[in-house]
Amino acid sequence: MAATAIIAAYNEEATLAEVLTALSSSPLIHEIIVVSDGSTDRTVEIARGFDVTTIALKENRGKGYAMRVGVDYASNDVLFFVDGDMYNVTQQHIDDLMLPVMNGECDMNIGVRHRGPVLDFMHLKLKCGPVLSGIRVMRRKVFETVPQQYQERFKIEAALNCFCAKAGYRQRETIIYNLGHVIKESKRGVRSGLLSRWDMSREVFLLLFDLYLFETWRWNSPQDEPVADFDLFE
């Protein structure tokens, strides 16, 4: 079963090369696509230094939209969504995430960074809060269950959890140990990082009411979006 790794990246020049080096070394990954979401740093330049498909959106459209563009260009059935701000990525991390889907044990496997036994237990066993990790492997059919209006910004991860379950597909979580990532406050500065974190939290909080209580997706048709302008480097 062939797999495509998709990185929706926004200004990830500090860590992207390390992530791409790890992905390029994995025999489980047959294609890599980097979607630069309107990056203003060297993200596109770094991606083009690797044997990957690089899609450079000319304006920032949000993570979910960038992921959708990557899916549109992916050739394979298994999709591995990877954050571009990770470091200390190992082949064991990649195997632990990908093999359950590639071996048919589940349809979506969500990678959850280890935060200690207590927090892991509360998050995954007691279900204290949604699992919103951007590191996840899935069959293409899982992504396609998400209505277009939820394939945008920070909505995509909560929407994937919701519609995967509603469609009856199997999902699981895998704890990832010793995997680092750059927090928003470090990448964007304290003020901008906190504002971005607030925007994300607010959007997800309201989305959960929409998905599980109001279920507006049952009657609201998606609106036509303007097609993004981008450069494609293969």
Q: Tens digit of pLDDT for each residue in 153-209?
A: 889 999 999 999 999 999 999 999 998 877 766 666 777 767 877 888 888 899 999
Q: Which residues neighbour 147 within 8 Å (Cβ) at sequence distance 6 or greater?
A: 159, 163, 217, 222
Rounded to a whole number, what is the largest CA-CA distance in the chain? 46
Pick from 76, 52, 54, 74: which is nearest to 9 by CA? 54
100 close to 164: Cβ distance less than 8 angstroms: no
Pick from 119, 225, 107, 196: which is nearest to 160 by CA? 107
Please, is 20 exposed, middle or buried when counting C-beta atoms within 10 Å of its C-beta (0-12, 13-18, 19+)? buried
E strand or H helix at 175, and its extent?
A: strand 171-176
Helix locations, 173-224, DSSP H: 184-188, 190-209
167 close to 145: Cβ distance less than 8 angstroms: yes
At residue 122's C-alpha, the angle toward residues 97 and 89, to 5°, is 30
Q: Tens digit of pLDDT for each residue in 96-115?
A: 999 999 999 999 999 999 98
Domain ranges (residues) in the chain = 3-183+228-233
- pLDDT for position 29: 97
Q: How far apart are the first and last CA of the chain?
A: 23
The domain made up of 3-183+228-233 has a fold known as Spore Coat Polysaccharide Biosynthesis Protein SpsA; Chain A (3.90.550)
Q: Tens digit of pLDDT for each residue in 20-57?
A: 999 999 999 999 999 999 999 999 999 999 999 999 99
- pLDDT for position 211: 92
Q: Is the pLDDT of residue 58 over 90?
A: yes
- pLDDT for position 184: 63
Where do the DSSP E strands lie in 58-135? 78-82, 86-87, 108-113
Q: Is the pLDDT of residue 225 over 80?
A: no
> What's the pTM value of the predicted model, to 2 decimals?
0.92
Q: How many helices (DSSP H) and strands (DSSP E) are in the chain?
A: 9, 10
Chain centre to alpha carbon of residue 8: 7
- pLDDT for position 228: 81
Q: Which residue has the tokens 């070394």?
A: 25
Confidence band of 143 (pLDDT split at 50, 70, 90): very high
